[in-house]
Structures are given as C-alpha cells and as structure tokens.
Chain A
C-alpha cells in the first residue's frame, strides 16, 4: 500500500502562552492604537474589534484606506507535481483554469455535497498553491491529498497578513514605491517590497472595494506596518477593527462562516450543514470537471430545488433586523436572519436570511421580519416588511477598474 505522499506536518515552535489570547505579529502596534481596549478572539489571537469608533473606521473603508490584521487566517501551502490535481480535487471550481499569479474564491464540500469551508486559493506557480481560510483544514487537506505526490504545510504561523482596503489604497502603495501596482488586476498577485521586506500582494479583500492583501514573513511585519502607517498619513489611512469590516463585508455580499453558515465538519446536528446551492453559490460548482470531492452528491443536489436558501433581503424602515425570525404573512415562521445592517453608504436596511423553500426561491411576497427594539429598557416588537434582493448591496466601479482611479 502506498504511504501518504503528504509530508509530515512538522511541529513549529509555539509560544508557551498557557491561557488567554496570543499576540499576533502586529500586536504591539495594534495594542498602542486600541483606545477602546476592545479585543476579540480570532483563532486564539487577540484581534481588535474596534480601535476607536466603529462608524469612522467604517467610513474610512469607503472613503480613504484602512489596515486590518488578517494574520490569524489559516494558511496552507500546497506544492508538488500533483498540486493542481489535489486542489482541483478539493474545491468545486475548475482550478485548472486558474493561471499562476491569480487568486480564486472557492468552496469545498464533503462527500455528501455539504460545504466544508470557503476560502481563497492563490496560485503562485504551475505546482504551487496557497489556501487561505477561516477554519483549520490540515487533516481535511491531508485526506484529499492522500495518494498524491504533493506536500501540504500549515504555514499559518509563517505568514503575516494585512488587508489594506479603501479607495486610496492603490495610491498609498504607489507612494511606497510599488511600481506597477496600478496594473494589478482584481484577483491578481504581485511581488513587491516595502521597507526592504519582501511582500506578496494580492488584489483581494473582504470589503467589496478597491483593496489589497499584503503577505509577508512575521519578522518583517512591523517594518511593513510602520512604512504603511507613515505613507498613510497623506492618504487618510486608518487602522480598523473587525466590526467595521463586518459592515463592509455585508454590504459587499460576502458570507461569513460560523455566522451565515456552518461548516459541515463542525455541525453537531446533521441538518445544519448546507450545500452550495442553498448558499446561492451554484456558480462556484463546476460539475463538468473530472471527479472532485462531493461531485456525485452535488450532481444529485443540483437536480432538485434546495430545501432552503440563504438570500439577501432588504427590510423596510431603518432598524437592523439582528437575529430576527422571518414570517410569511406575519404568521408562519419561514426563516431567520443571520447578518443584518443599516447600510450607512447605501442607506438601506439590509440582511442575509435563511428562508425555507419555496420562500426566497419562488415565493417572495408577504415576507416579514420580526424586530425587537429596546427603547429605554422597554422592548418593542415590530413587524417589518422585507423582500429578497440581488447581492451585492454595495458595488463601485473602482473595485475592478484597472488601473484604479486616483481615488
């Protein structure tokens, strides 16, 4: 029997923090700026939820540019002669079409066609990929790669990441001497350096706006940070926390694992897992490519309407519908809201909601959300009319323009 071709995952030095959150590569800088002292737990790292004021941090995303530490993402290097075959076996998209120097948003499914996780696949070369995602996937990747000539390494701790997002982000990088950054297309990857630190820059992000993600070795992380902050003075750069980012990502139509859906690997109740069709991600499933994980189940699933669907909805008036239940004709419970926001830019009351079939698919009328409002410790229940709409809520030509406009 052939042995697994994946390399043993070597233990990497791990700081002996016996309890509590671990400081990430940018922690010293973040701590100095975190006036609210508001931290949250992201994969065991201390990640700022808000540094100063959520609203201003949010508007900086849409108006200037912003920095957000994305180092806690799980990152896996997949390399070797069979790397393309393995990644293509993993994800539902046809990765053979992804050229080196490009990034693709992907999902991957289990054998029952239920979504395991979503993430971005970076192709650095014909036989070299990196997967970036939210949940640990090492054993999943090793299962997929068993029998193939490929090496899989958890490089989460070897790569620090920063999201630089906002209309002035390109100009800021150009100020720092990143020649040719303006010609980087959306989902493109380029190699640059800042303050003598080698960087991989991808034109990707979670805001639906112009923006970049910068990947570097943790040793150079602070030097890059300082250079960005210095150059950022002229470009309105602001460091932001998760809450502002969450507002932007809802507007941009991005889903968040653990909030909008659960990984099939993590659910305790079998019916909580979801399919790509239920998430409205049909466009990510290439049933016409050779066998990939879950293909046979997905083929079956693609033939019938999903039993429920995650849809974008717009709600009347202005109170966000956090955790609200959705009713048909104000009486029959047909779903629930996962993410909700009063969009400051669109001036619309928006949300994502799970709706049981046929609602959100063929029956879109007479839907109501039940919103609870607290007015001076009195709770009020309010029924607000809602209707499914197309994603995204917010889009702007600058997101895709190449070269990007000056601002």
Chain B
C-alpha cells in the first residue's frame, strides 16, 4: 500500500475538517479525502450551496482549533424578515421584534430568552459525547452530574416547564406563549426545517431547543454568516488542518473502507489506490459509511437492520434563482445580501405544507426560507416540505412544479420578483443524497428526534462515534449531536478516536 497515515478522514464537509484539524493538532498525521472538487460539503459548493445560511460553529471548537473568531462569527447578522399573510415583514433580531404589537413582542422576547436558557442547560448534554446506555462510566456520570446541576440552576419553575415541554410539540408551546402568526411561523420553521416533522409533531420543541442551543457572540439561535461568506469558514478550518501538517485531497472518492483482522486498515479510492491507516473517520452519513463503504459483511444483521431503518427522509429542496438586483420587499425596502427571509405566515401554513409531504406529494404552498447573495446575484431558497420519496419521482416536471409554487410564494413577499428572474435551478433531496453522501438527502444525515439522539444516535449500538469494526469512527451529522453547522460531531469523534486504546 501507498503512504501511511495515522488517520484518514472521509469527506471534507465541515465536520470532517473539524475532525481532521482536531486530530492533526494532536500530532496525528492526517489525510482528508474528498470525493468532490471542493471542500466544505453542503456548505462549500460555490455553484450551489445546500446550506447557504450556516448556524454558528461552536465557540469552544473555534477556541480549541484557534480559528479566527472575527472570521468565523462575522458581523452581527441583519434582522430576519418574517412575513405574515400580508403587510410588511416583522424584523427579528434574536429575541427583539420590530413591527409587532408590544404585548406580542414582549411575549416573544420572554419566550426566546427562556428557550435560550433552557437550551443552554440542555446544551451540556446535547453537545457532549453521549453516555453509554447500561454501561455508565465514571466519566459519563460526571457529565450527567454537570448537566443535572445546570438544570437545577434554571430554578424550579423553569425546570418544571422544561420537563413539561421537552418532548412536546412546538405547536402547543407557541399557541400558549405567542399565539399563531408570523412569529410562531418563524420559530416553527426553525423547529422543523430539515426534518420530517410538522409543528404539531411531538418532538419539535426539542429540535427548536437544539437550534436555540447554537451560540455565537451575537446571541443564541442565530444564523451567522462568516466574514467572507461560507467559503471563509471552510477555508479557515482547512487552513487549520494544513497548518497542523494534515493533507487534503479533493477529487478522491472513497470506494471502500478496508478491513484487516476486524480492524479498519485504510481506504480504497475509486481509482483503485489503497491508502493505509489504522484510523478511519467518516463524515459520510451512517448508512453510506456502513452499508456502502464498509459493507454489511463486517456487521451483524441486527445492526444492519437498525442502520437501514434509521429515519432519514430529507424534506427540503434547494432552489437558486437569478436575482440581478436586490429583490424588493413587500412593504418597502430591499433584501440585503446575507439577510434571512422566512415566508411561513403561521404554523398552520407549515403544518398544511407538511400534510402533502407525509403522503409523498409536494405541497401547493411550500413554506420557505431565502437569502440573497449580492456577489453571485442569486436568491437561494430552502423550500419545505419536499419529500425525498416523492411518489411521482423527482422528474424535471416535478422540479419545475416546485419551482413555480416557490416562485408564487416569493412573489407574495418579494412583489415583482418573478418577472425579474428565470427558472430556478432545483436540488431535490435525491440530488443532495447523490451529491453529498447524505442518505435520504437529509440535512442532518438522520432525523433529529429523541429516538435518534444521544446514545441512540445514529442508532443503538452505533453511538459514541466508534463502530463495531475497531478503528472506524463516524464523524458526520449522523453522529451525536447531529446536524447544522456546529462542528460538534467532528470534534467529539476526533476526541473519541484520540482516546481509544492502542492510539
């Protein structure tokens, strides 16, 4: 075999890069192999970004990798525009709302702050490596005790409240606290975007809390555009890998994970080249890593069954429209570059859009999130719910139907936009699956729910990053704590690999 490395990371998505940087900085000789011609996975394709609006990379990872906070966390994001059924949009900066009635704005601010506190307390659990069910180690107990303490610090009333809502649905929570409307639509969008759940589905409070747990110097629960755009974020982690002596190869598709004596031994690329390494970390989704790259012959039948039945049904389609000029907003003004727009007039609209997707159809009125990039003169839209398993199949016709219904929605909030643009380029969940090793085209490589969290993420027997074949680790969003741009799975997986015996 050719050159020998201490560790190989499959996939240069942000989690793969974070894992590689963590290993390289610990003195390991690391190689990152990336199938595509660009780094950053869903974040990094200049032609078509699956994730144009990243959440913030976790501050402690930024610190551990000594990344430039000014670049990673950029400037404070512009207010989010939340469109209701009519009138100008509400402008939302974290918990502060402009354009809503005072009572509602106050209720929203209070809820936003409360969820932030509760998410912060849960964050200790959501972001640390999960405990091992049935075999608690002293280290796990320490983590649990820390979290228990953090939860106690919330105070009895807020803790009781958290224990009540944690497994509940965002519909009931928001109906109680702020009533249905564009603000509820905005929060419910955060709770559901990327997953296969509507606002009425139990478990959506947890997804909301997960997003509320994302932190940056600008506050919690925010989409944060790095200074210089997503590419700058990718570049700075990649630079960190290289600075620590790591190598990154693009256009190097891994075809197989090699196994010798029941241990990972390296990878084989599509061109037949074999690269030896005692550690292999995969940023691809669990299904792709285990069923395709590793192969079921190394795994037990029950393990394969659990892997196969992992819920990972992508529900978001990405559409890019040409936008020669900043689009004009309903109610005046224009959409700023990097500004986030949400057109989900209320929770009911989201639930109704979800109804169709449940049965494998496209909704008549999808709910959307959009952002405008002045540099590329492009309006990038994430539309839900667009099911991976569309009954009629993701034909060109289906895509153009989706494109038309999204454009109709856009025309309502960006009057006249339709006249200035042409047909959208559409990336369906099927395209995302094909392009990024994400089974089901799912943003998070697997549905984010209580039965696929912590020691059950991605599924029972595959948690804690280590796979049954020694030396193989999962470091992508399929591993705990999951998706969005936070870097925690990559960071935790690298640390698990560093801590493993024989390393």
B-binding residues in A (CB < 8 A): 1-2, 85, 89, 110-111, 140, 143-144, 146-148, 290-291, 293-294, 296
Contact = CB atoms under 8 A, between A and B. Distances in A.
Interface in B291-312: 291-292, 295-305, 308
10 cross-chain pairs, A with B, having the tightest CB-CB distances, nearest first: A111-B300, A143-B301, A147-B296, A144-B301, A111-B302, A143-B305, A293-B300, A291-B298, A293-B301, A146-B304
Contacts of B297: 85, 89, 290-291
Residue in A111, A144, A293 whose Cβ sees the most chain B Cβ within 10 Å: A111
Contacts of B303: 111
Contacts of B287: 1
A90 B262 CA distance: 17
Q: How large is the interface on B (under 10, 10 to 19, 20 to 34, 35 or more residues)?
A: 10 to 19
A296 B468 CA distance: 8
9 contacts: A1-B439, A2-B291, A89-B301, A143-B302, A146-B301, A290-B297, A291-B299, A294-B300, A296-B262
A297 to B, nearest CB: 8
A302 B355 CA distance: 53
A291 B305 CA distance: 17
Contacts of B305: 143, 146
Contacts of A147: 291, 295-296, 304
Interface of B is mostly: helix
A269 to B, nearest CB: 15
B245 interface: no
Nearest to B298: A291
B23 to A, nearest CB: 25
Interface of B: 262, 287, 291-292, 295-305, 308, 439, 461, 468
A293 B296 CA distance: 11
Contacts of B298: 291
A146 B296 CA distance: 8
A110 B296 CA distance: 15
Contacts of A291: 262, 297-299
Contacts of A290: 297
Contacts of A148: 296
A139 to B, nearest CB: 9
B262 A140 contact: no
A144 B300 CA distance: 7
A111 B461 contact: yes
Contacts of B299: 291
B302 A110 contact: yes
Nearest to B305: A143
A78 B358 CA distance: 37
B86 to A, nearest CB: 44
A80 to B, nearest CB: 15
A110 B306 CA distance: 14
A382 B296 CA distance: 55
B230 to A, nearest CB: 28
A1 B295 CA distance: 12
A148 B303 CA distance: 15
Nearest to B262: A291
Contacts of A89: 297, 301
Contacts of A143: 301-302, 304-305
Contacts of B439: 1
A377 B468 CA distance: 59
Contacts of A1: 287, 291-292, 308, 439
Nearest to B470: A296
Given A111-B461, A146-B308, A140 B301 contact: yes
B28 to A, nearest CB: 26
Among B287, B299, B300, B302: residue with most chain A CB under 10 A = B300
A316 to B, nearest CB: 43
A89 B295 CA distance: 13
